[in-house]
Amino acid sequence: MKYVINLLKCIWLFFWASCMSVILFIPMTVAAIFSVTGNLVFNISKLWAWTMLIVTGVKVHIKGREKIKEGTQYVIISNHQSQYDILALVTSLKIQFRWVIKKELLYVPLFGWALYAAKNVFIDRGNREKAIASINKAVNRLPQGVSLLVFAEGTRSKDGTLQKFKKGGFTIAIERKIPLLPVVVKGSRAILPKGSFVFHSGSIEVVVCDPIPTDHYTHEKIDELIAKTHTIIKNELTRG
């Protein structure tokens, strides 16, 4: 019986993901033509995210949104436990941002096109120099006030433990003197853990921490900045 229920959940998830991707494909294509900034496509993607949350019975609560200063560009640093992190962040932060994501997602039918149309940043995770160059190039094209969101662990955590942070996002923040915005996602792993297609209804909490100015940081102090950000996110995660 459990197998049947899990199978039905998988079918339900894929059905809605596919339907919404097909339904929104034309609006996103039109938006991509007329919105050179990608902002309109990003807004349409919120509808996809909201729908997926609703049909799977997942609620998102956010704490600390008032710490985000409207019109300010941030490098948003977040932990990563589940694909539902994406849905939670898109629908809760209420600001325009672009993802820094692995280039392999570009080749996913419809989904990859939507990511491309929204002007997200595709990187080669196997080549750090090329990845940073790609991010730098993308930052130059970003509209004023649009932020970058980086899953600093590089991939989803299997057991929920916060992994070591990669330097890419921090390097850009230091070079451009862009403030960091630590954001913590809690509860998403219980909804859809890595390696599973069986979702569980529930709630996700998104916590916005205090921004970290990067004006006084140099490349020589990047490890210090990474450690500080890692500690902030880890401490928030341990609060449960």
- State the CATH number of the domain containing residue 119: 3.40.1130.10
The predicted structure's pLDDT at residue 101: 77
The whole-number average pLDDT for the span 5-11 is 83
Say which residue the tokens 């921004």 belong to: 211
pLDDT at 110 over 70: no
Tokens of residue 102, six digits:
């692995």
Would you state the pLDDT for residue 227?
98
Other residues' Cβ atoms within 10 Å of the Cβ of residue 164: 9
Q: How far apart are CA 179 and CA 49, in angstroms?
A: 27
Please tell me the pTM assigned to this model: 0.89
- In this predicted structure, the answer to whether residue 126 has a pLDDT above a threshold of 80 is no
CB within 8 A of 80, min separation 6: which ones?
A: 151, 153, 155, 156, 157, 185
Q: What is the mean pLDDT of residues 135-147?
A: 81
Mean pLDDT of the chain, nearest integer? 88
pLDDT at residue 229, rounded to an integer: 98
Average pLDDT value for residue range 209-220: 96
C-beta of residue 169 within 8 angstroms of C-beta of residue 77 = yes
* pLDDT at 89 (0 to 100): 98
Counting residues of the chain whose pLDDT is more than 90, the rounded percentage is 52
| Reduced DSSP (H G I as helix, E B as strand, rest coil) percent helix, strand, coil of the chain, to 5 | 50, 15, 35
Q: Report whether 203 contacts 189 (CB < 8 A).
A: no
Q: How many CB atoms lie within 10 A of CB 223?
A: 12
Q: Name all contacts of 34-38 with Cβ < 8 Å and 24+ positions apart.
A: 37/119, 37/143, 37/146, 38/98, 38/117, 38/118, 38/119, 38/120, 38/143
At residue 167, φ and ψ (nearest 5 deg) are -85, -15
Q: What is the predicted pLDDT for the residue at 83?
A: 92
CA distance 65 to 35: 27
Could you read off the pLDDT of 54-70 as tens digits, one per residue?
A: 999 999 999 999 999 98
Which DSSP symbol is given to 153? T
Contact 139, 172 (CB under 8 A): yes
Q: Which residue has the higher pLDDT, 85 or 6?
A: 85
Positive/negative CA dihedral, 27, 28, 30, 34: positive
| Residue-wise pLDDT tens digits, 163-209 | 999 998 899 899 999 999 999 999 999 999 998 888 999 999 999 99
For residue 199, what are the domain limits? Answer: 2-238
| CA atoms of 97 and 42, how far apart (whole Å) | 8
Count how many domains the chain has: 1
Residue 32: which pLDDT band, with cuts at 50, 70 and 90? confident
Give the pLDDT band of residue 217 (cuts 50, 70, 90): very high
